Structure 1
């Protein structure tokens, strides 16, 4: 008796001792009693799409970033990706254009085309090119600092984020004003 209590099999022993022998030994009867009746319907393959669409309509939506208050960390991350893609598109676009028409896109023709522009357009163009380049380069230094294990706290992330924005503004103006 003590062994069955210690092993926790007392209830199983009582159940097997009190169960009728015919039901306990007859596998067919056990299966009939234990089974539930389930009905299935055969559906055409086109019904799968409508069932799936009904299930999708009943699912809850996950929160979208537009419901959150903008934070420097995720805005900076998006800006880093956008500037990287933009700079890559410019580099590859100019390279492909040079390969297609080397006489039109060589450096002498580009310099001559830029010299004919008004001063305000030149400065605006230089700033439009300098700002993403500066941001992406300086933010890359910030990521190198993170990779070395520095500034990983929330305070450190925000302080380096503001430092990147300030350094980007200063370096963009400097790059724009260089003759």
Structure 2
């Protein structure tokens, strides 16, 4: 019955070819013997081991870490707006947090020195150039971090998650940061 099916389907020649070209028992034996020889040779390879105390493991790892190269991403990848924005977002968030916690702790330690009356008097006595530079140093990270936070909220709502959308929103954050920084400094 098999030849009838193969004739109908058109695979009769393939069945004949397979039936005539099956490897013989002797060639299978040669292949099995070669595999056993390779396995025996591999198992006879000498691997030297030695017992070490657990404290030596830390020393070995530390010596290996010194020899490792640093992460290559800065040297082999082209800078992209997405990862530059991510780094800037983390840096601005950390800087703003450090400033807030620093001022809060200073106010707790010396409330008479860091109350709003003394801070306003101190800032009023500064030259205009220093005031504008200080306002810029505060306004730029604040504006960028705020607008980039809104960008991340949009991503959470699955908006602008394509590559084109990520770049468009990134450039919008940069433009918005520039406009907002100027507006905040001129207030």
TM-score (norm 2): 0.67
The residue matched to 1:163 in structure 2 has which SS?
helix
Which residue of 71, 85, 94 corresponds with 1:85? Answer: 94
* 1:52 shift after superposition: 4.8
TM-score in terms of structure 1 length: 0.70
Q: How many residues are treated as equivalent by the alignment?
A: 146
Shift of the 174–58 alpha-carbon distance from structure 1 to 2, 3 Å rule, reads closer
Identify the match of residue 97 of structure 1 among 94, 106, 112: 106
Q: Does 1:108 align with 2:117?
A: yes
Distance 1:170 1:53, change over 3 A: closer
Comparing 35-44 with 64-73, which one deviates more in the overlay?
Answer: 35-44
* 1:19-46 C-alpha deviation (Å, 9 max, x unpaired): xxxxxxxxxxxxxxxx869786544537
Distance 1:150 1:39, change over 3 A: closer
Whole-angstrom distance in 2 between the partners of 1:120 and 1:166: 24
1:144 is aligned to 153
Q: Secondary structure at the match of 1:139?
A: helix
Q: Map Cα deviations across residues 119-141 of structure 1 (whole Å, 9 max, x no partner).
A: 11101100110000000001111
Unaligned runs of 5+ in 2: 1-24, 30-42
Moved more, 145-154 or 43-52: 43-52
Quote the Cα distance in structure 2 between the aligned partners of 1:58 and 1:100.
46
The gaps in structure 1 that reach 5 residues or longer are 1-10, 16-34
